[in-house]
């Protein structure tokens, strides 16, 4: 076999010596990136054509590129993970492209792939024969400065830099969402590549110049991944199976999002048990086990299929430019644009889908609204799609010095909104829901600066449970939960008290020394006397004092906060009491405000 490949290579070389005597790749050491222009990382694809007898099954290619088989099958339009590949079959290999600094002056753009050296390997042979010139041995040497290329040991791990590029800001604006890595073949012309990928010659030349030689990498700019027309597989043994067998094959390839559509399309008359039975019978592929898990997950969320829009992973990927890091709002939440509207798209492992089950039970103006979801079986991720709130989190509003300061009136409204949202989940859901992670960064503000509670990722339904698995955020967690793991609505009341302190003081829940704000309050405020009043003035955010504000109103909110922070959970007020007391404080404020209009005054006249 090796002889065959060698013969093949020699043959190609001869062919080239006739047409162009010197074959030197354009950028042998790699492709520079500039973090001023591109994201530090992005998802992209390499075009890869199956060659040689050792690459005729998907498993060996997925091993080579360290990705799962479905991750290649899906973008490549393969319906089966197990049927053999054909010579010259085209595949799209997903890459995580990053900008890496190699020395003080240069950053190179590539996807890092681990490769374990086997007998007879050299950097050159692996780059040209296995990775088909998607990298060069020169670049492998630069990326692995500690390795001696002529003295490699078998079993040694080497990073192979697969060349890739992330789109620049201008390219993204021009709808160039991917730059597909393609190795220019001897028979290619720029226009043949353009038509194959649905790109244009001008845009390819813009990115790559017009002096492209065989085996050079061409970055093909496209707005979406082109469809690969795969040759239809010869009749396989799978064909004897019935209709749902076909559905299973498809679903494994295309992901559960498709299954969801089938389910909606009336397919679920088959019933969950039948699905499970069918899958149980289907022992041909280890993937089927994963599929079984997915089916049971779908059963879990089947109640909300009619309530929410079910998105396809492609839609979400497009909306977020392939989950571009620059669109991250916070953590794993991305800002996405679909159908003329912005959405917040949260990516999580599907076992975290608890949030979906909780959210389908709640619906209130002060809770962030869930619009839809998507389950992607390929990487076992679950995506929740929420309404997008323009003004970001309360945390940023309060603590980012670049933000416009919030007036006391606004802060009070925000406090009332949060209290209303919490009152709703505590009192009007069966079983009761405890949020468990109330904090200013989980409070979002809409265009009118009305507050909504977000992130039910830790929420629990059912009350007075004991848990050994302590979650939550330092500075907000109630002491009884930390020490005994008691889950009750009163732990949300405690965290809400901390948010009130943040609103009053404009300070963070935990200071630089790691001391919690509520501990400070325990130490300094006990009793509503003259001394307490004086201390309070020092505690209030200067920005609040500068604007219109009534000290009585702040005082009142402070006493609500102190009551909410009571060490004994049973002596903390309920959210119902708090909503009532806060509204009273709102009244107090209206009386004394200087905006010249007070409902009560009007009433008095
Ligand atoms: C790569 O090639 C391009 C165009 O030929 C050139 O502008 C660039 O300087 C080369 N080197 C690197 C490291 O990108
Ligand atoms: C190269 O990367 C480093 C960090 O890895 C960054 O600080 C520097 O600005 C980058 N330089 C360029 C030219 O992008
Ligand atoms: C990146 O931007 C910074 C500030 O805008 C500038 O100082 C730096 O020289 C730029 N780096 C490159 C490589 O363009
Ligand atoms: C940094 O690496 C690039 C690419 O390998 C090379 O062209 C350049 O000479 C190197 N610069 C230094 C200072 O080593
Ligand atoms: C690749 O190798 C590096 C160390 O060489 C290791 O830290 C990393 O986890 C490896 N990645 C994978 C995906 O195996
Ligand atoms: C990779 O490039 C070399 C020339 O640099 C060529 O001989 C070889 O056939 C190419 N490999 C493949 C798989 O196209
Ligand atoms: C080759 O590597 C081995 C161990 O990795 C080392 O013992 C040996 O001295 C090296 N030989 C040369 C010529 O560098
Ligand atoms: C997938 O390939 C088949 C041919 O095997 C083709 O008919 C179909 O249109 C392709 N689908 C996509 C989404 O590219």
Give the pLDDT mean for 95-115: 91
Ligand 7 first shell, C-beta below 6 A: 148, 151, 153
Q: How high is the pLDDT of residue 249?
A: 31
Ligand 3 atom closest to the CA of 36, numbered from 1: 1
pLDDT band of 305, cuts 50, 70, 90: low
Ligand 3 atom closest to the CA of 34, numbered from 1: 13
Q: 300 burial class (0-12, 13-18, 19+ CB within 10 angstroms)?
A: middle
Task: Give 169-225 pLDDT, tens digit per residue.
Answer: 889 988 899 999 999 998 888 999 999 999 999 999 989 988 888 889 999 999 999
DSSP letters of 550-595? -HHHHHHHHHHHHHHT-SSGGGSPPHHHHHHHHHHHHHHHHHH-SS
Q: 266 burial class (0-12, 13-18, 19+ CB within 10 angstroms)?
A: exposed
Q: What is the CA radius of gyration of the chain?
A: 30
How many Å apart are CA 409 and CA 155, to the nearest integer?
Answer: 66
Among 376, 417, 437, 541, which one carries the catalytic annotation?
437
Q: How high is the pLDDT of residue 304?
A: 53
> Do 538 and 401 sit in the same domain of this protein?
yes
Whether 437 is a known active-site residue: answer: yes
Give the pLDDT mean for 403-415: 91
Which of 113-127, 278-292, 343-357, 539-553 shows the lowest mean pLDDT across its residues? 278-292
Phi, psi of 184 (to 5 degrees): -65, 125
Q: Whose CA is nearest to atom 2 of ligand 1?
A: 27
Residue 9 located in a structural domain: no
Q: How high is the pLDDT of residue 12?
A: 38
- Cα(168) to centroid(ligand 2), Å: 15
Residue 10 located in a structural domain: no
Question: Of 362, 356, 213, 377, which is closest to residue 293 (Cα–Cα)?
Answer: 377
Answer whether residue 284 shows pLDDT above 50. Answer: no
Average pLDDT in the chain? 77
Segments in 255-346 forming alpha helices (H): 256-264, 271-281, 287-301, 313-319
Q: Whose CA is nearest to atom 10 of ligand 3?
A: 36
Q: Whose CA is nearest to atom 12 of ligand 5?
A: 114
Task: Give 1-40 pLDDT, tens digit per residue.
Answer: 443 443 333 343 333 333 332 233 347 889 999 888 888 8
Q: Is the minimum distance from the CB of 463 to ligand 4 under 6 angstroms?
A: no
- 387, 413, 437: which is the final residue of a domain? 387
Q: 345 burial class (0-12, 13-18, 19+ CB within 10 angstroms)?
A: buried
Residue 258 located in a structural domain: yes
Question: Of 586, 589, 583, 304, which is closest to residue 423 (Cα–Cα)?
Answer: 583
Residue 234 located in a structural domain: no
Sign of CA dihedral 324, 319, 37, 162: positive
Give the tokens for residue 323: 């989950």
Sheet hosting strand 370-376, strand order edge to edge: 309-310, 370-376, 381-387, 341-349, 333-338, 328-330
Residue 566 located in a structural domain: yes
> Do 564 and 429 sit in the same domain of this protein?
yes
> Do 550 and 565 sit in the same domain of this protein?
yes
Give the count of domains, the chain. 4
pLDDT band of 589, cuts 50, 70, 90: low
Residue 18 located in a structural domain: no
pTM > 0.75: no
Domain range for 204 is: 23-222
- List Cα–Cα distances, 345 to 118, 320, 567, 583, in angstroms: 42, 8, 37, 34
Which residue out of 33, 98, 99 has the highest number of ligand 2 atoms within 8 Å of its CB and is therefore the one to mutate?
99
Report helix angle 551-564 to 489-505, nearest 10. 150
How many Å apart are CA 70 and CA 201, to the nearest integer?
Answer: 32
Answer whether residue 240 shows pLDDT above 70. Answer: no
How many Å apart are CA 133 and CA 116, to the nearest integer?
Answer: 18
- Cα(396) to centroid(ligand 5), Å: 36
Question: Of 321, 384, 318, which is closest to residue 354 (Cα–Cα)?
Answer: 384
Q: How high is the pLDDT of residue 493?
A: 96
Give the pLDDT mean for 414-419: 95
Q: Is the minimum distance from the CB of 128 to ligand 8 under 6 angstroms?
A: no
Phi, psi of 207 (to 5 degrees): -80, -40
Q: Is 62:69 a contact under the CB 8 Å cutoff? A: yes
Which residue out of 107, 112, 165, 169 has the highest number of ligand 2 atoms within 8 Å of its CB and is therefore the one to mutate?
107
Q: How high is the pLDDT of residue 469?
A: 59
> Do 372 and 428 sit in the same domain of this protein?
no
How many Å apart are CA 511 and CA 185, to the nearest integer?
Answer: 60
Q: Is 339:354 a contact under the CB 8 Å cutoff? A: no
- 358, 387, 416: which is the final residue of a domain? 387
Q: Is the minimum distance from the CB of 29 to ligand 4 under 6 angstroms?
A: yes
Q: Give residue for tokens 């509670």.
A: 453
How many Å apart are CA 196 and CA 405, to the nearest integer?
Answer: 54
Residue 228 located in a structural domain: no
Q: 519 burial class (0-12, 13-18, 19+ CB within 10 angstroms)?
A: middle
Answer whether residue 250 shows pLDDT above 70. Answer: no
Q: Is the minimum distance from the CB of 127 to ligand 6 under 6 angstroms?
A: no
How many Å apart are CA 564 and CA 338, to the nearest integer?
Answer: 41
> Do 413 and 544 sit in the same domain of this protein?
yes
> Do 131 and 190 sit in the same domain of this protein?
yes
Q: Is the minimum distance from the CB of 128 to ligand 6 under 6 angstroms?
A: yes
> Do 133 and 166 sit in the same domain of this protein?
yes
Q: Is the minimum distance from the CB of 234 to ligand 8 under 6 angstroms?
A: no
Ligand 2 atom closest to the CA of 100, numbered from 1: 5
- Cα(323) to centroid(ligand 2), Å: 22
Q: How high is the pLDDT of residue 400?
A: 87
> Do 105 and 30 sit in the same domain of this protein?
yes
Instruction: Please report, for the domain that includes residue 317, its CATH number.
Output: 3.30.200.20
Give the pLDDT mean for 52-75: 85
Which long-range contacts (C-beta less than 8 Å, at least 24 apart) are formed by 170-177?
171/221, 172/321, 172/324, 175/223, 176/203, 176/221, 176/222, 176/223, 177/222, 177/223, 177/224, 177/318, 177/321, 177/322
Q: How high is the pLDDT of residue 509?
A: 92
Ligand 5 atom closest to the CA of 112, numbered from 1: 1
Q: How high is the pLDDT of residue 130?
A: 92
Strands 309-310, 370-376: parallel, antiparallel or unpaired by DSSP?
Answer: parallel
> Do 274 and 303 sit in the same domain of this protein?
no
Which residues, listed in sequence order, are joined to residue 107 by a DSSP beta bridge?
A: 101
> Do 126 and 55 sit in the same domain of this protein?
yes
Which residue out of 29, 104, 106 has the highest number of ligand 4 atoms within 8 Å of its CB and is therefore the one to mutate?
106
> Do 374 and 496 sit in the same domain of this protein?
no
Instruction: Please report, for the domain that includes residue 454, its CATH number.
Output: 1.10.510.10
> Do 103 and 150 sit in the same domain of this protein?
yes
Answer whether residue 89 shows pLDDT above 60. Answer: yes
Report helix angle 271-281 to 287-301, nearest 10. 170
| Close Cβ partners of 53 (under 8 Å, ≥ 6 residues apart) | 1, 4
Answer whether residue 567 shows pLDDT above 70. Answer: yes
Give the pLDDT mean for 249-270: 33
Residue 542 located in a structural domain: yes
Q: How high is the pLDDT of residue 495?
A: 96
Q: Whose CA is nearest to atom 3 of ligand 1?
A: 27
DSSP letters of 141-173? HHH-TTS-TTSPPTT-EEEEEEE-BPPBHHHHH
- 368, 387, 406: which is the final residue of a domain? 387
């Amino acid at each position: 076999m090796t002889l065959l490949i060698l013969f093949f290579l020699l043959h190609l070389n001869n062919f080239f010596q006739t047409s162009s005597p010197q074959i030197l790749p354009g950028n042998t050491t790699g492709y520079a990136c500039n973090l001023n222009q591109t994201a530090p990382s992005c998802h992209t694809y390499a075009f890869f054509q199956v060659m040689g007898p050792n690459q005729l099954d998907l498993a060996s290619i997925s091993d080579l590129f360290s990705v799962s088989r479905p991750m290649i099958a899906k973008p490549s339009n393969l319906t089966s993970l197990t049927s053999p590949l054909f010579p010259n079959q085209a595949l799209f290999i997903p890459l995580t492209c990053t900008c890496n600094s190699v020395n003080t002056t240069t950053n190179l753009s590539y996807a890092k792939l681990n490769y374990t050296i086997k007998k007879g390997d050299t950097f050159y042979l692996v780059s040209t024969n296995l990775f088909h010139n998607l990298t060069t041995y020169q670049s492998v040497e630069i990326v692995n400065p500690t390795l001696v290329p002529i003295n490699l040991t078998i079993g040694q791990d080497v990073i192979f830099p697969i060349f890739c590029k992330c789109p620049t800001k201008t390219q993204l604006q021009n709808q160039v969402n991917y730059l597909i890595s393609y190795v220019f073949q001897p028979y290619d012309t720029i226009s043949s590549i353009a038509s194959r990928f649905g790109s244009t010659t001008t845009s390819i030349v813009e990115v790559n110049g017009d002096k492209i030689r065989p085996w050079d990498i061409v970055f093909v700019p496209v707005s979406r991944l082109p469809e690969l027309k795969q040759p239809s597989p010869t009749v396989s043994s799978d064909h004897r199976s019935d209709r749902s067998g076909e559905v299973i094959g498809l679903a494994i390839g295309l992901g559960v999002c498709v299954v969801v559509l089938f389910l909606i399309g009336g397919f679920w008359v088959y019933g969950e048990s039948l699905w499970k039975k069918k899958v149980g019978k289907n022992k041909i592929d280890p993937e089927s086990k994963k599929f079984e898990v997915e089916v049971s997950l779908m059963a879990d969320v089947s109640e909300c299929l009619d309530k929410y829009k079910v998105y396809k992973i492609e839609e979400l990927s497009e909306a977020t430019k392939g989950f571009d890091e620059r669109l991250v709002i916070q953590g794993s939440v991305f800002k996405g644009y679909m159908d003329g509207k912005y959405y917040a798209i949260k990516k999580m492992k599907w076992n975290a889908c608890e949030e979906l089950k909780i959210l389908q039970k709640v619906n209130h103006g002060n809770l962030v609204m869930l619009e839809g979801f998507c389950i992607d079986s390929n990487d076992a991720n679950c995506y929740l799609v929420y309404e997008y709130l323009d003004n970001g989190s309360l945390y940023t509003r309060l603590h980012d010095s670049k933000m416009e300061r919030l007036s006391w009136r606004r802060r009070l409204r925000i406090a009332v909104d949060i209290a209303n949202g919490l009152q709703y989940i505590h009192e009007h859901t069966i079983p009761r829901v405890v949020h468990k992670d109330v904090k200013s960064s989980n409070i979002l503000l809409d265009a009118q600066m009305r507050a909504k509670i977000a992130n039910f990722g830790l929420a629990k339904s059912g009350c007075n449970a004991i848990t050994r698995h302590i979650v939550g955020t330092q500075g907000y967690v109630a002491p009884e939960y930390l020490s005994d793991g008691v889950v009750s609505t009163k732990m949300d009341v405690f965290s809400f008290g901390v948010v009130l302190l943040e609103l009053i003081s404009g300070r963070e829940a935990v200071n630089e020394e790691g001391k919690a704000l509520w501990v400070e309050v325990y130490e300094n405020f006990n009793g509503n006397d003259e001394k307490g009043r004086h201390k309070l003035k020092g505690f209030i955010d200067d920005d609040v004092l500068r604007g219109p504000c009534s000290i009585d109103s702040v005082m009142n909110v402070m006493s609500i906060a102190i009551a909410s922070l009571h060490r004994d959970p049973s002596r903390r007020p309920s959210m119902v009491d708090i909503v009532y007391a806060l509204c009273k404080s709102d009244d107090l404020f209206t009386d004394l405000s200087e905006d010249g209009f007070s409902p009560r005054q009007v009433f008095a006249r």
